[in-house]
Structure 1
Amino acid sequence: MRVLVVMDPIEHVNLKKDSTMAMLWAASRRGHELGYVLQQDLYINQGKAFGLVSPLQVFENSEKYYELGEKKSQSLAEYDVVLMRKDPPFDMNFVYTTYILEQAEREGAWIINKPQSLRDCNEKLFATQFPELQVPTLVTSQQSLIREFIQTHQDVIVKPLDGMGGSGIFRLSAQGANIGSTLEMLTELGKQPIMAQRYIPEITAGDKRILMVNGEPIPYCLARIPQNGEVRGNLAAGGLGEARPLTAKDKEIAAKVGPILREKGLVFVGLDVIGEYVTEINVTSPTCIREIDAQFGTSIADTLFDVLEQGRVS
C-alpha cells in the first residue's frame, strides 16, 4: 500500500516512546511505500486535497531512524491510507486539517481516524456517551453548579475539555481553600465549560490505557501510576508505565465501546480507565504502543496493519 503520515516534525519524536514510529516501522517491514507531511503542508486546490509530501524511509536504528526525500505536491488520494497522527492541541488548525482530510476521503483515501469523528468525538465529552461506564460527571461553565457538585461528592477532579498529558487537572475537596480561584481560571470566569468528575481512589493503582484496534482491545493495557504524591498518572506528568493483562472488567468495557468506535470509523483508539470507570476516549493520536510492546513482546502496530491491509472497515 501507499501510506501517508500526517505528524509532528519527525526529527523531534521521542524514539523510545513514539507510537507513530512503531506504525511506520511496521509499515516499512511490510513493504509499504511511505510519505510524510506536516499539518501546515496540507491544502485544497480547486476542490481537491493535496499535500507537500516528502518520500519517507524509516529504520529501526537510533542513530539514523528516518530519511526524507524531496518534498513535492501530491494528491492525498494517491495514498491508500492516511494516518492522522498530529498531536493535540485540538485547535482550529486541527479542525481545518480534518476538513482537508475529509476532502481526501471523498476522493478515495482511507483516513485513520475518520476526520468527521475526530471533530465530533472530543476526548473528554465522547466518554459521556457511556454514562453507565463513568463515575458521576458534570460538564458546565457554571461555577455554581460545579460548587454544588463538589459539595455533593466531596472529592472531585476538574479538568479542561481540550487538555492532554494531564495538563490543567486539579483535585478539589469540599473543604478546599482554592475552589474559587481554580474554577475561575479553568472556566475563564464562567465562559469556558470544563469537566468535573468524582475522584476515583483507584488512581493510585494506575490510570489504564486500553488500546483498541477496529473496535477490539489489545489483550494488554498500560497502567500509568502516579508518582511522588501526584494525582495524575499521565506519562507526560511523570507517571510510571506498567503493562498488565486486561481484567474481565476491562474486556467488558471494551466490548461496550468497541461497536460504537467501528460505527464512527475510529480504527485506533485509547480508552482511559481508572478502576472500573472510563474517564476519557482518546481518538486523536493515542500512544502507549511502545511501552506495552516492550513489556509483553506484542507488536500492536502490526495488529493495526493487519486490519488496514484487509481493506476499509464496513
Structure 2
Amino acid sequence: MRLLVIADPLAGFKIHKDSTYVMLREAARRGYEIHTALADDLRVSRGHVEITAQPFTFSATQEYKHWFVSGEAVRARLSEFDAVIMRKDPPFDQQYLYNTHLLSLAETQGARVFNPGQTLRDYNEKLAILKHPEFTIDTLVTQRDDDLRAFLADQHDIILKPLDGMGGMGIFRLRREDPNIGSIIETLTDNGRRTIMAQRYLPAIKDGDKRILLIDGKPVDWCLARIPKEGETRGNLAVGGTGVARPLSGHDREIAEALGPKLAAQGLLLVGLDVIGKHVTEINVTSPTCFREISDQSGIDVGALFIDALERRVAG
C-alpha cells in the first residue's frame, strides 16, 4: 500500500508515546511505501490537490529526533496514494479549516482520506457532544459574559474551555467564590469576541478522564484513564496527568457501542471519546491519541487494529 501521513514535524514527535508514530511503525512492519508531509505542503494546481511529500523510513538508531530517514521530496496528487491519514494536531484554526476543504476536494478526485475533511469540519471536538445529548452534562456555548455568569450562578462549579484547543490548553475551573471570574471570562472569550464552552464540573475527574478509542465504530476493549496530578483539574497527559489503562466498564461500553456505529457511518475511522464518570465531554476526531499507553499496559496492539481497519476501508 502507498500511504501518505500528514502530520506535524516528525522531529518533534515524542516517540515513547506518540500515536502517529505507532501507526507509522505498524505500516512499516507491513511493508507499506510511506510518505510524510506537513499540512502546509497542500496545494491545488491545475485543479488537482497535490502535496510535497517525503519518502519515509525508520532509522536504525531510533535516537531522539533521529528516529526516521526522509528521502528526496516528491510532488504528487493525493489521489495517487492508496490512503491519506490526516494527523495534524489542533488548534483547529482558519488554516486548518482551509486544509479540510482541500482534503474534501481531493476526495472528489479519488483520494481516500481518514478522517475525511467533511467530518473534521462537522465534528468539532468540543461541540460534537451536542449531537448526542443523552450522554452529555449540562453545557453552555456562548461568547457572552452574562450567559457565563448566569450558568456559573446556577451550577456553582464549572469548567470553561476554548473550542479549538487540545491537550488541556486554556481550560479553567471556575467557582462562584473565585475572585478572578471577570478576568477568566474576558481572557477566554477575548472580551466577548470568541465563543467558548462551559460545562458543569464533574467530581468524577478524580478517577480519571477516560479516553475510549473507537476504530471504525468499534471500541478498543481497554481505555486510558488520565488522572490529574495533585492540585490539577485537568487529567490530560500533556499537563502532567497519569495514564492508567483499564478495561472498559459496562457503561463505557454502552456509550461506545451506541455512538460507534453512528460515527463510523459519517466516515470517521478513528475517534477518541473523552468520558468523565458517565458523561461524554469531548469527541476527538483530528488526531486522537493514547495508542501507545493502552498498548503498553493492556497488551492490545492498537496500531495493528487501526491499520487492519484502514486496510478494510481501502479494500471496500
Moved more, 255-264 or 217-226: 255-264
Q: State the alpha-carbon separation in 2 of the partners of residues 35 and 163 from structure 1.
A: 27
Residues 83 and 314 of structure 2 are in contact (CA less than 8 Å); yes or no, is this contact kept in structure 1? no
Residues 82 and 314 of structure 2 are in contact (CA less than 8 Å); yes or no, is this contact kept in structure 1? no
Matched with 2:16 is 16
Q: When the two structures are superposed, what TM-score results if normalisation uses the length of structure 1?
A: 0.97
Unaligned runs of 5+ in 2: none
Moved more, 260-269 or 224-233: 260-269
Matched with 2:252 is 250
Please list the CA deviations of residues 200-232 of structure 1 after superposition, one character each: whole Å capped at 9, or x if unmatched. 000001000001100111000011000021000
Per-residue deviation at 1:60? 7.9
Q: State the alpha-carbon separation in 2 of the partners of residues 189 and 242 from structure 1.
A: 38
Q: State the alpha-carbon separation in 1 of the partners of residues 8 and 190 from structure 2.
A: 29
Moved more, 145-154 or 245-254: 145-154
Specify whether residues 313 and 136 from structure 1 end up closer, same or farther in structure 2 by C-alpha distance, changes over 3 A only. Answer: farther
Task: Give 3-state SS (helix, strand or coil) of 1:211's partner.
Answer: strand
Which one-letter code corresponds to 1:247 in the other structure?
S
Per-residue deviation at 1:42? 1.2
Q: State the alpha-carbon separation in 2 of the partners of residues 259 and 80 from structure 1.
A: 24
Matched with 2:146 is 144
Matched with 1:278 is 280
Specify whether residues 106 and 293 from structure 1 end up closer, same or farther in structure 2 by C-alpha distance, changes over 3 A only. Answer: same
Task: Give 3-state SS (helix, strand or coil) of 1:56's partner.
Answer: strand
Please list the CA deviations of residues 120-141 of structure 1 after superposition, one character each: whole Å capped at 9, or x if unmatched. 1110000111111111001011
Residues 7 and 38 of structure 2 are in contact (CA less than 8 Å); yes or no, is this contact kept in structure 1? yes
Task: Give 3-state SS (helix, strand or coil) of 2:233's partner.
Answer: coil
Which one-letter code corresponds to 2:171 in the other structure?
I
Matched with 1:259 is 261
Task: Give 3-state SS (helix, strand or coil) of 2:197's partner.
Answer: strand
Per-residue deviation at 1:311? 2.9
Matched with 1:302 is 304
Task: Give 3-state SS (helix, strand or coil) of 1:159's partner.
Answer: strand
Moved more, 90-99 or 286-295: 90-99
Q: State the alpha-carbon separation in 1 of the partners of residues 217 and 315 from structure 2.
A: 10
Specify whether residues 283 and 313 from structure 1 end up closer, same or farther in structure 2 by C-alpha distance, changes over 3 A only. Answer: farther
Matched with 1:35 is 35
Matched with 1:67 is 69
Residue 90 of structure 1 is aligned with which of 77, 86, 92? 92
Specify whether residues 309 and 16 from structure 1 end up closer, same or farther in structure 2 by C-alpha distance, changes over 3 A only. Answer: same
Specify whether residues 257 and 93 from structure 1 end up closer, same or farther in structure 2 by C-alpha distance, changes over 3 A only. Answer: same
Which one-letter code corresponds to 1:251 in the other structure?
R
Q: State the alpha-carbon separation in 1 of the partners of residues 125 and 157 from structure 2.
A: 22
Task: Give 3-state SS (helix, strand or coil) of 2:92's partner.
Answer: coil
Please list the CA deviations of residues 239-296 of structure 1 after superposition, one character each: whole Å capped at 9, or x if unmatched. 0010100000000111121122112111111000001100000000011000111111
2:184 aligned with 1:182: yes
Which one-letter code corresponds to 1:166 in the other structure?
G
Please list the CA deviations of residues 118-161 of structure 1 after superposition, one character each: whole Å capped at 9, or x if unmatched. 01111000011111111100101111111111111111111111
Matched with 2:117 is 115
Q: State the alpha-carbon separation in 2 of the partners of residues 184 and 312 from structure 1.
A: 47
Per-residue deviation at 1:44? 0.6
Q: When the two structures are superposed, what TM-score results if normalisation uses the length of structure 2?
A: 0.96
Per-residue deviation at 1:59? 5.1
Residues 265 and 313 of structure 1 are in contact (CA less than 8 Å); yes or no, is this contact kept in structure 2? no
Residues 225 and 240 of structure 1 are in contact (CA less than 8 Å); yes or no, is this contact kept in structure 2? yes
Per-residue deviation at 1:193? 1.2
Q: Following superposition of structure 1 onto structure 2, how do residues 182-221 of structure 1 map, counting pairs within 5 Å?
A: 182-221=184-223
Identity in percent: 49
Which one-letter code corresponds to 2:55 in the other structure?
P
Q: State the alpha-carbon separation in 2 of the partners of residues 41 and 144 from structure 1.
A: 43
Matched pairs, number: 314
Moved more, 245-254 or 61-70: 61-70
Specify whether residues 141 and 313 from structure 1 end up closer, same or farther in structure 2 by C-alpha distance, changes over 3 A only. Answer: farther
Matched with 2:173 is 171
Specify whether residues 61 and 264 from structure 1 end up closer, same or farther in structure 2 by C-alpha distance, changes over 3 A only. Answer: farther
Residues 25 and 59 of structure 1 are in contact (CA less than 8 Å); yes or no, is this contact kept in structure 2? no
CA RMSD of aligned residues (A): 1.4
Unaligned runs of 5+ in 1: none
Matched with 1:156 is 158
Task: Give 3-state SS (helix, strand or coil) of 2:220's partner.
Answer: strand
2:280 aligned with 1:287: no
